[in-house]
Amino acid sequence: MGMRVLVCGGAGYIGSHTVIQLLAAGHDVLILDNFANSKPAVIKRLESITGEHLRVHAFDLRDAERTERLFDHEQIEAVIHFAGHKAVGESVEKPLEYYQNNLGSTFSLLRAMERHGVTKLVFSSSATVYGENAPVPMTEDLPTSATNPYGWTKVMIEQVLRDVAVAQPDQRIAILRYFNPVGAHRSGTIGEDPSGIPNNLLPYICQVAVGRLQKLRVFGDDYDTPDGTALRDYIHVEDLAAGHVAALARLTATERAVSTWNLGTGNGSSVLEMLHAFERAVGRTLPYEIVGRRAGDIAASFADPGRARAELGWKATHTIDDMCVDSWRWQSQNPNGYPDA
Ligand code: NAD
Ligand code: UFG
């Protein structure tokens, strides 16, 4: 049954892809985003993909008064909370901004939900909460920790959510721990559009492929992995979006106040495997050099996705070649990302 879903951070990379699938599943969607890390142009693209007019509330979720007013005026039944800053390196330089934005927006949202009796929440967490020394594949019951302020915001918000659920046992909260989201909508009209020089592997390779960056630097080939480069669980953003729709459906049926689910494929792919998959998508080789390890990186991170499979009936279906083909379609059609206006 369709619900009215508030999507906080719905103009961002993962939020925008999820909005499409929520509408396709029959939900009524409201977007809240202050465009701190996204551009309004994405909204028109979403409208043209879905054929629907989208209602967008452009303000900072930390503005508790405006958030209250929004809940006063709209019969919101569920919330998906993507809003937050996400750059690991930047979080080390600007810890207070990260704690303020990521925690502050969550507090304002949780207060408004409590006052208005809204009991369904899906929260964007990250595999980063497994910290430095977790065994792979990673299961949801491992202890959590972090190595940087961004990661700590996720660990802390997870704890806040568990505490809120004790005090308000009618809450139905999904904590989704994403592994490495990549790829783009098959139309090639929406995708990941990082500002500045990308930190993450796929956006970096994309910009090498369009000629905006000279060559990929592979951070370390001396890990204890099959080809010496680090392993990650890359997951197509379309599979991730489907995971949110499945989690929302599950929240209406579960007795548990808080559920934690990994969203990953269960496969670890190396940096060089991703580079070569991308080269197949582009149809030519791409320049790279091996350099030293990046501080803070771990050798291997991949999910045990068994719980999500069993409880959500959800499973990632896209291969790394699908991910690279779709990323490349987006990047080649939009070499400079979204237009400013
Ligand atoms: P994104 O930056 O593209 O999207 C986040 C959106 O939230 C942006 O549109 C931004 O403008 C908005 N926003 C930020 N602060 C806000 C505020 N105070 N009020 C209103 N809007 C605000 O990021 P994404 O990749 O789509 O990630 C979404 C969520 O998933 C984030 O919470 C992120 O930490 C988490 N996550 C992302 C990844 C990843 O690799 N992309 C991995 C694990 C977890
Ligand atoms: N890499 C390179 N060269 C680059 C960029 C990345 O070799 O230019 C390598 C990294 O060393 C790593 C792999 O590619 O081995 C993936 O790196 P990403 O930066 O794309 O992803 P991470 O796994 O390091 O980090 C991601 C998110 C973080 C999150 C973390 C754990 O970006 O927000 O997963 O979930 F905290």
Ligand nearest to the CA of 100: 1
Q: Classify strands 120-126 and 78-81 as parallel, antiparallel or unpaired.
A: parallel
Ligand nearest to the CA of 103: 1
Question: Is residue 137 domain-resident?
Answer: yes
Average pLDDT on 278-302 reads 97
Residues with CB under 6 A from ligand 1: 9, 11-15, 33-38, 60-62, 82-84, 86, 101, 105, 124, 126, 178, 181
Distance separating alpha carbons of residues 169 and 259, to the nearest angstrom:
13
Q: Which residue has the tokens 């139309």?
A: 187
| Number of domains the chain is built from | 1
So what's the pLDDT on residue 39? Answer: 98
Distance separating alpha carbons of residues 273 and 294, to the nearest angstrom:
18
Question: Is residue 88 domain-resident?
Answer: yes
CA of 154 to the centre of ligand 2 (A): 17
For residue 221 and ligand 2, the question of a CB distance below 6 A is answered with no
Residue 298: CB atoms within 10 Å: 17
**% of the chain surpassing 90 pLDDT:** 99
Residues 16, 105, 241: CA angle, nearest 5 degrees: 25
- Give the domain range for residue 143: 4-183+234-265
CA of 198 to the centre of ligand 2 (A): 10
Question: Is residue 227 domain-resident?
Answer: no
So what's the pLDDT on residue 152? Answer: 98
283 pLDDT more than 80:
yes
CA of 105 to the centre of ligand 1 (A): 12
Residue pLDDT, tens place only, 140-166: 999 999 999 999 999 999 999 999 999
1 pLDDT more than 90:
no
- 84 close to 9: Cβ distance less than 8 angstroms: yes
341 pLDDT more than 80:
no
Distance separating alpha carbons of residues 276 and 37, to the nearest angstrom:
29
Question: Is residue 258 domain-resident?
Answer: yes
Averaged pLDDT of the chain = 97
So what's the pLDDT on residue 70? Answer: 98
Q: pTM value?
A: 0.98
Q: Where are the alpha helices (DSSP H) in 237-284?
A: 237-251, 271-282
Average pLDDT on 324-336 reads 97
CATH number where 49 lies: 3.40.50.720
The ligand 2 atom at the shortest distance from the C-alpha of residue 88 is: 33
Question: Is residue 62 domain-resident?
Answer: yes
> What is the DSSP code string of 307-338?
HHHHHH-------HHHHHHHHHHHHHH-TT-S
Question: Is residue 114 domain-resident?
Answer: yes
Question: Is residue 214 domain-resident?
Answer: no
Average pLDDT on 223-249 reads 98
- Probe ligand 1: pick from 33, 161, 193, 237, max atoms within 8 Å of CB? 33
For the annotated catalytic residues, the residue numbers are 150
Question: Is residue 290 domain-resident?
Answer: no
For residue 86 and ligand 2, the question of a CB distance below 6 A is answered with yes
Q: Hey, whose CA ends up nearest to atom 22 of ligand 1?
A: 83
State the pLDDT confidence band at 200, using cuts at 50, 70 and 90: very high
For residue 87 and ligand 2, the question of a CB distance below 6 A is answered with no
Ligand nearest to the CA of 269: 2
Residue pLDDT, tens place only, 42-68: 999 999 999 999 999 999 999 999 999
